[in-house]
Structure 1
C-alpha cells in the first residue's frame, strides 16, 4: 500500500481548472464531499495510491501534478549535467516499490532510460540534467542529492 503526499491547494486548483465542484469530484472518486474539502484544506497530507489514481483520472492530470514536493528550480542558463549513481537510483526505485517503467512514467522520462542508467556499472558516468534529477527525485519522493554519485557536487 503506497502513500502519496498531496498538495491540497494544488488539488483545489486542478479541480477548479477541470470545472468540477467538490461534490462532483467526490462522486467520481467515490468518497464524500467532506473528504475532498478536507484534502483541499490541508497544505500536505498523505493519501492512498488507489485514491490518488482516482483523483488524477478524474482531473486528467499525472500523479506528480498533485505532489506536495516543490517544483524543480529553473535550469541555469548553461545547464550543467550531473553524474547519477546507478546503484542509488536502483535502490531508491526498489524501496519505492516501482518498476523501471513506472518510474519513467511518473518522472516523464523516455522508455528504457531508467533501465539503461541502472544497467551501467558504478564506474560508468551516467549524466543527467538538473531538471531530470528533480523529476526523478519527485517521482521517488526523495531529495535529488540522493541520486548524485558520491564525490560529485550536489544540487
Structure 2
C-alpha cells in the first residue's frame, strides 16, 4: 500500500525476505530482532524502564519518587527507614511521610535483567535483585543487596504507576 512519501509498506515480490530498518526511523529498536512491535514487548520494555527511573529518583531525591507511585500504592521496604512494616497512604507513618524524610542512595545496580510478567494489558510485575550504594560520612561505601518485587499499572494517559512493591534484604551467597 503506498504511503504519503510514495513508499510502500507492502512486501515487494523482488524484495529480500529480511528488510532493513525503515528509513527515517528514530528508534534503534525498529527494524531489528528487538522490535517493540507488540503491546506485550512494549509493556515489558516499559516495565524495566520505569523501574530504573524509580530507583534513579530514590538516588536523586526520594521525595521525587512519589511521582512514579499510585496514590494507593502499598509496600514493604526496609530500605526506607529500616522498618519491614507494610506501608500505604493510610498507615502511620505513610509512604509519603517516609519518603519526605528519607536519605537518598548514592547509586544502584540491577543484577542481570529484571524478569517481567504481564498481569493484564495495562499491568506488569517485575522481580529482580538489586544492590544499593550509600556513601558513609566517615568514608567508604555501604552496600545493601535486596530482592524486589514490583507491580505497575498503566493509566489512561499511558503513564506507569507503581502500585505495590516488596523489598527484602538478601543474604549474599558464598562464592566458590
Q: Taking structure 1 as the reference length, what is the TM-score of the superposition? A: 0.22
Greater percentage in strand: 2
